[in-house]
Structure 1
Amino acid sequence: MNKLLVLFILCLTLVSCSNLPSSDLPTETQPALNVPEKIEPTLIEPEKTIVTRAHLVAIGDILLHEAVYLDASTTQGSYDFSSMFTKVKPFLEGADIAVANQETMIGGVELGLSSYPTFNSPYEIGDALKDSGIDIVTIANNHTLDHGEKAILNGINHWDRIGMLYTGAFKSNQDREDIRTIQKNDITFSFMSYSYGTNGIPVPEGKPYLINLIDLPLIKQDVEKAKLISDVVVVSMHWGNEYEKKPNQTQIDLATELSDMGVDIIIGHHPHVLQPVDWIERSDGSRTFVMYSLGNFLSGQVGLEKLIGGIGGVEITKTTFEGKSTIALANPSFLPTYGYYDNWRNFEVIPFYQLNDSYLPNYLMHYEDTQNHLKEFTNEITFNER
């Protein structure tokens, strides 16, 4: 009897000494449970669409006849062209990117300044363009080789000194392979320039880099390279027939070829008169903006149509979503200008809306004619008046 009592008390003691509540003791009828850890939901914001825009403008030929650089000469023996651009400077500076065609090589006074038919110009025109807001100059044209390799290299050295990008003529093969790019508002632009010829002057043997000639396989190769490093491809073409107010079939065909390659903006030079602007539609719904000829911007030529030029522009929009970007061009614009001079002095580029009859008799009629001419192929163009 006493043995049974001792055994009962011992069992009670063992149970009471356990650290586990009786309900937590595993039994055959109550297995242990693995409760998963509670996970708080994570909110993932949808990727935002990013839209940026840039405004590109271009001007026509800077063609420095003797009268122009003589008018720019100073008593110190240098040259100052800055006053010739005073009235158009705000429009060039106001753009995100401004492009000019420097028709005459700036070989400097040491090579002897010269005018038509073989030009060589002062370095200082480069300084004036830089000061006016130009970001890049195109130098592939029929006058590139007028004073040979030395004038080209002198000019390139000066462009480098003042920090001005150039394209179309180069100092070496390596220099040519370096596609010029400019980035504005997260949009990268690439620039190339080509000429139909060199007025019969042969390109020095083994030095094709001294000028880009129009060669479709070469251009296609350059464009494909440019598309890998830029969003927008801009090509300047020295083409067409002098003094013809409409593009010829060769220009139209070349523009179509360039558009098919993926060129977004085509800037035309050489006719020395204005030609209409146009759009070229691509099969994927995108389009190319082409300015067939921007005429003369600054020159000493004679005749009203050769003195009317302007600042052509277009707006570029880049839309980025989920890591992919698309480019759209819209809102082409044009500011007609007049290359005024008086008795071969006081050269000045003046916006048409700032003219009066003392500068150009019947200027309003000429202004209207210029507008109608520019929009002959498309009405999708506005004309800046302020």
Structure 2
Amino acid sequence: MGAHDDRSAYELRRLLVALAVAAAVVVMLELRTSRPDATSFSSPVEAATDETQPVGPTTLTVALTGEILPHPSVVEHARRFGASSGQAFDFTPVFSDLSPLLAAADLAICHLEVPVAPPRTSLSGYPSFGIPAEIGAGIGSTRWDRCSTASNHVNDKGTAGIRATLDALDGAMVGHSGTARTPEEAAAPSITDVAGVPIAHLAYTWGFNGTPPAEPWMADVLDPDRILTDAREARAAGAALVIVSLHWGNEYDTSGSADQRALAGRLLASPDVDLIVGHGPHVLQPIETFHGKYALLSVGNLVANQGRERPSTYDGVIAEVTFSTADDGRFHASAPVVHPTWYDRDAGRVRLVNAALDDPALADLQSALAASVTRTAAVLGPYVDSG
């Protein structure tokens, strides 16, 4: 086939993908309008009752990504990449395709699902994970600014694992929320300055697989009253935006549960919570609005290897949420835009699907990429960037 024929084939595949996205949009909109509690996608955020006034820029973009869950096969790819770069493990190539989008955001937030193995201990996988400390450098070099670290695996390696995880992120100058090494660290507001705007990032998990940390302050448990109190205190400490990461939901459920929606509605009814991003199900779940604000029920896996029999666990997104100041002086969110991702388990790399579909060097991945974006569009249709 000639170059022109190759280009035509790619354009045909992209057209088919675009049609799949469009079809999913129609279905999602029909489902949305049929729900008795539906909220318009264009609903404005309700005016807050406090007097918080943001400073700095009038528009900010936050990028949110799925679960970083390096199974042993992922770690093995990092070892092979490290053999070429002169490191024991190098996670940077795993994520490198994502760097331009993450760097373009004002704040990029990841979710680190599993702990770092403490020094002088062995690496391990499911059910008790312990990954290389080099994950911190990989996250930092990819241009994430901070991570949520509260998950059901947070105590897999005990207190030493919690400490090692946060030490690795600190070493890469990556902020973190949800776990702590000391009571003082746990009590400190998780507020970061973003271009002059103070943004609070809070993170919580449903539990710890039956083995809680040695002290309750080491990891934040998902409790509605606690979350609302923390959000209120973050506002009082000066936060102009409060983003809440929740490790919740049922594994492999692409619909989202009634419990998730009830909690999202309760939290977003508060003027102190601006956005919810969910992790835990290992698959994508819908984006919905509650009280005019957005809940990303689950942004899926970013990197994981949970078996070819579960293809949806390789799908994720970079979700971009843009906040702009309104007449009330507060930041309000516009509709999220999601960029589909897919973990290429054979190459050990996370692919940006739209860019990969246009890459002739990845011709052998075209059918897998098209299937991934079709699955993503079926869940997130109205929000998918079709490229």
| TM-score, normalised via structure 1 length | 0.79
Report what 1:300 is aligned to. 305
Aligned to 1:68: 74
Residue 198 (1) aligns with residue 200 (2): no
Name the SS for the 2:313 alignment partner.
Answer: helix
| Cα offsets for 1:46-83 (capped at 9, x unmatched) | xxx99610100111100011111111113456100111
Contact 2:325–2:332, Cα closer than 8 Å, also in 1? yes
Counterparts of 1:167-316 in structure 2, within 5 Å, are: 167-204=177-214, 207-228=215-236, 229-261=238-270, 262-281=272-291, 287-302=292-307, 303-316=310-323
1:359-383 CA-to-partner distances (Å, cap 9, x unmatched) read: 25253354234223113xxx3x351
- In 2, Cα distance between the equivalents of 1:50 and 1:78? 42
* Amino acid in structure 1 at the alignment position of 2:234: A
Task: Say whether the 8 Å CA contact 1:334–1:384 is kept in structure 2.
Answer: no
In the alignment, which residue of structure 1 is the partner of 2:7? none
CA distance in 2, matches of 1:366, 1:256: 30
**Secondary structure, in 3 states, of the residue corresponding to 1:277?**
strand
1:15-164 to 2 correspondence within 5 Å?
52-73=58-79, 74-75=82-83, 78-108=88-118, 110-164=120-174
Q: How far, CA to CA, are the matches of 2:56 and 2:66 in structure 1?
A: 34
Aligned to 1:383: 385
Relative contact order (C-alpha < 8 Å, sep 6+): which is higher?
A: 2
Q: What is the root-mean-square deviation in Å for CA atoms of aligned residues?
A: 1.9
CA distance in 2, matches of 1:288, 1:188: 19
- Higher strand content, 1 or 2: 1
Structure 1 stretch 188-197 or stretch 74-83: which is displaced more?
Answer: 74-83
**Counterpart amino acid of 1:89?**
S
Q: Which string of whole-angstrom CA distances, capped at 9 and with x for unpartnered residues, describes residues 29-52 of structure 1? A: xxxxxxxxxxxxxxxxxxxx9961
Structure 1 residues 97 and 51 mapped into 2: Cα distance closer, same or farther (>3 Å)?
Answer: closer
The question of 1:372 aligning with 2:382 is answered no
- 2:143, 2:137 → 1: CA distance? 10
Contact 2:312 2:372 in 1 (8 A): no
Contact 2:134 2:168 in 1 (8 A): no
State the Cα distance separating 1:107 from its structure 2 match: 2.8
Q: List runs of 5+ in structure 2 lacking aligned partners.
A: 1-54
**Inter-CA distance 85–250: structure 2 relative to 1 (3 Å threshold):** same
Change beyond 3 A, Cα 1:57–1:87 = same
Contact map agreement 1:51 1:319 (CA 8 A) in 2: no
Report the Cα offset of residue 341 of structure 1.
1.9
Larger radius of gyration: 1
How many matched pairs? Answer: 320
Given that 2:56 and 2:197 are in contact with CA atoms closer than 8 Å, whether structure 1 keeps it comes out as no
SS at match of 2:179: coil
Deviations 1:222-251 (A, max 9, x none): 111111221110000000000000110111
Write out the 4+ residue segments of structure 1 that deviate beyond 4 Å after TM superposition.
none
* Distance in 2, Cα, partners of 1:178 & 1:159: 17
1:337 has 2:319 as partner = no
Percent identity of paired positions between Structure 1 and Structure 2: 26
- Deviates further, 129-138 or 161-170: 161-170
TM-score, structure 2 normalization? 0.78
Q: Which amino acid aligns with 2:249?
A: G
Deviates more, 1:299-308 or 1:75-84: 75-84
How far does residue 307 in structure 1 lie from its aligned partner after superposition? 0.4
